[in-house]
Structure 1
Amino acid sequence: MRLSTVILPIRPWHDGGRDEWLWAEQLGFHTAYTYDHLSWRTFRDGPWYGALPTLTAAAAATGRIRLGTLVTSPNFRHPVTLAKELMSLDDISGGRFTLGIGVGGKGFDATALGQQAWTPRERADRFEEFLPLLHRLLTEDSLSHEGDFYSAVEARNIPGCVQRPRLPFAVAATGPRGMRLAARYGQAWVTTGDPAIFETGTPEDSRMALRGQLDRLGKACAQAGRDVDELEKVLLTGFTPDRGAPLESVDAFVDFAGRHIELGFTELVIHAPIPDSDFAVDRTVFEQIATESLAQLGLPAQSADSPAPAGDPGRQGQPAPLGG
């Protein structure tokens, strides 16, 4: 099991922002992610920086920890420009980047460019075109494509990603169409649990819902002719009925983690502390969870895979094979 963190992009880089990423690396987290939004919920009227520039700076400042988005969506991105930025970020990080990506939601990102928010079906339709096109853009030197929503004309991405054949996709999905895309293109699958029971459910309700999601992922993989064990199973914590309770102590987190490892999760992601917010975790407890919980779970200390040199076709530790 891997333990990772999310650092929200709310601090100026030279006034605490850089320190957060170095701290995450020093604590031994496997991956440090950030949200890829234009603004988000209670942070909407405060500082909020761009995900990819922040991750580029983090890549230059760190040397071991993996980096990623959790998650990017089609709401305000285009596959052609995103592919170029991802290829560049993978190069700058020395092959330490993972793209978390999902269908998108109906929040601020959905209307910031002046469009009407897409319906759930429209979001799913676009994602079914967005993700395969992004996959091709990151694995082919030159590509032209004319689709219902996205087009590319002789789009070039040379020399491609450091991680071969491309950087990993961690696909956020709970519905059948998203699950099929995760099964075909994902090296990892991401969930936050079942939002329908966040307010009124119990921790046991949540685990039952997660068990159902994992079962559906397994069926989607079987239909795609793929072993579900090839995918990492990632839980972004903080959005289940437990809320912040698992981060109140090391023992509470170990209990929470053990129950979710039993379900089949291979990576848990916890939010870095932000005072006066939903993520107002005690920093000392957070550090203890980062440094002590794996040992209490009987797991070895984690270390990120060594970055591969450019052009290395077999990066050690890269997740499962790519979809076609």
Structure 2
Amino acid sequence: MRLSTCILPVHRWAEGGREVWERAEALGFDTAYTYDHLSWREPFRDGPWFGAVPTLTAAAGATSRLRLGTLVTSPNFRHPVTLAKELVTLDDLSGGRITLGVGAGGSGADATALGQEAWSARERADRFGEFVTLLDTLLTRDVTSYAGTHYSARDARMLPGCVQRPRVPFAVAATGPRGMRLAARHGQAWVTTGDPAVSGAPDATAERSRTAIAAQLARLAAACEEEGRAAGGPEKVLLTGFTPDEPLDSLDAFVDFAGTYAALGFDELVLHWPLPHSRFAADQRVFEKIATDGPGQL
């Protein structure tokens, strides 16, 4: 099982930001992701929050081995053509170390930041399907023209293409049936944070959360079968921090947690880099011990 981290884009580069990404590489994490939002919920809403693509560009120059990615990008304020050009560039700058985490987006601040009304759940799903499909086409062809319901491209050129072939890998975040089919069709990986209806309930327990995630895995398997995807389907990625588990309490707690999710079939766990006074607060020393010693005990 791979162990990765997610570094929220809240650090000024000259005031410790660079050092965080360098430290993530030194600790041996497989991938360091960052959120791709214009802003995020409390307590981050009124504090520093930087753009994902420039942050990953800087991180690519500060690291040499660490994979880098978004977790996740959405159609809320992105267009496939401009995003594809940025991904081709990032993939080149990083020497082929970029992963695109992509999801449908929600109804938070990003949904209205460009002045539009928030889309309904159905429209988000419609846009997500077209967004990922067109992005896949753009990144695997030199020139693309496309006229869709929500997105279009005219003679869009992506030369020289991605370093990674046939394109940068997609990690598709999805829980609904349409999103699951999209992950089965286009995803090299599938991402979940758990089932918020279960983990956010007043009587939430780690066991109930795992049961809900097992049900998600079953739905993914069904979607893969429907899409004719080979056995196993996309790799399974859990972005931690949103379930009732406490894997960062100690090394032993992490090893138990990781073993449970490995048995469920997960290939990668993503731990949020500790941030004081937030839901991602954790003892930095324990976090680093988990990073260095945890994988060897799985």
* Structure-2 separation of matches of 1:197 and 1:230: 25
Match of 1:168 in 2: 169
- In 2, are the aligned partners of 1:91 and 1:161 still within 8 Å (CA)? yes
Match of 1:237 in 2: 240
* Structure-1 separation of matches of 2:231 and 2:135: 22
By how many angstroms is 1:199 displaced?
2.6
Letter in 2 for 1:223: E
Q: Which moved more, 1:197-206 or 1:259-268?
A: 197-206
* Structure-1 separation of matches of 2:232 and 2:63: 30
Q: Which moved more, 1:221-230 or 1:285-294?
A: 221-230
- In 2, are the aligned partners of 1:104 and 1:123 still within 8 Å (CA)? yes
By how many angstroms is 1:280 displaced?
1.1
* Structure-2 separation of matches of 1:167 and 1:112: 28
* Structure-2 separation of matches of 1:255 and 1:88: 40
Secondary structure class of the residue paired with 1:180:
helix
The alignment status of 1:14 with 2:17, answered yes or no, reads no
Letter in 2 for 1:136: T
Aligned residues: 295
Match of 1:143 in 2: 144
Match of 1:223 in 2: 226
Provide, for residues 107-137 of structure 1, a one-character-per-residue CA deviation record: whole Å limited to 9, x for no partner.
Answer: 1100101111111101000011110000000
The alignment status of 1:33 with 2:44, answered yes or no, reads no
**Superposed, which structure 2 residues align to 1:36-115 within 5 Å?**
36-42=36-42, 43-115=44-116
Between the aligned residues of both structures, percent identity stands at: 69
Provide, for residues 81-102 of structure 1, a one-character-per-residue CA deviation record: whole Å limited to 9, x for no partner.
Answer: 0000000000000000000001
* Structure-1 separation of matches of 2:239 and 2:108: 18
Unaligned runs of 5+ in 2: none
* Structure-1 separation of matches of 2:146 and 2:173: 25
- In 2, are the aligned partners of 1:69 and 1:101 still within 8 Å (CA)? yes
- In 1, are the aligned partners of 2:184 and 2:233 still within 8 Å (CA)? no
- In 1, are the aligned partners of 2:76 and 2:110 still within 8 Å (CA)? yes
Secondary structure class of the residue paired with 1:246:
coil
Letter in 1 for 2:196: P
> After the TM superposition, which segments of 4 or more aligned residues of structure 1 sit over 6 Å from their partners?
none
Unaligned runs of 5+ in 1: 298-324
* Structure-2 separation of matches of 1:295 and 1:18: 27
Q: CA RMSD in A?
A: 0.8
Letter in 2 for 1:214: L
By how many angstroms is 1:275 displaced?
1.3
By how many angstroms is 1:230 displaced?
4.2
- In 1, are the aligned partners of 2:221 and 2:233 still within 8 Å (CA)? no
* Structure-1 separation of matches of 2:233 and 2:93: 27
Secondary structure class of the residue paired with 1:177:
helix
Letter in 2 for 1:17: G
Secondary structure class of the residue paired with 1:68:
strand
* Structure-1 separation of matches of 2:84 and 2:61: 20
* Structure-2 separation of matches of 1:255 and 1:27: 20
By how many angstroms is 1:225 displaced?
1.0
Match of 1:206 in 2: 209
TM-score (norm 2): 0.98
Match of 1:272 in 2: 273
Provide, for residues 205-246 of structure 1, a one-character-per-residue CA deviation record: whole Å limited to 9, x for no partner.
Answer: 11111111111111111111112424110000000122xx21
Match of 1:286 in 2: 287
* Structure-2 separation of matches of 1:153 and 1:255: 51
Letter in 1 for 2:145: S
Letter in 2 for 1:289: I
Match of 1:303 in 2: none
Letter in 1 for 2:219: R
The alignment status of 1:190 with 2:185, answered yes or no, reads no
Letter in 2 for 1:7: I
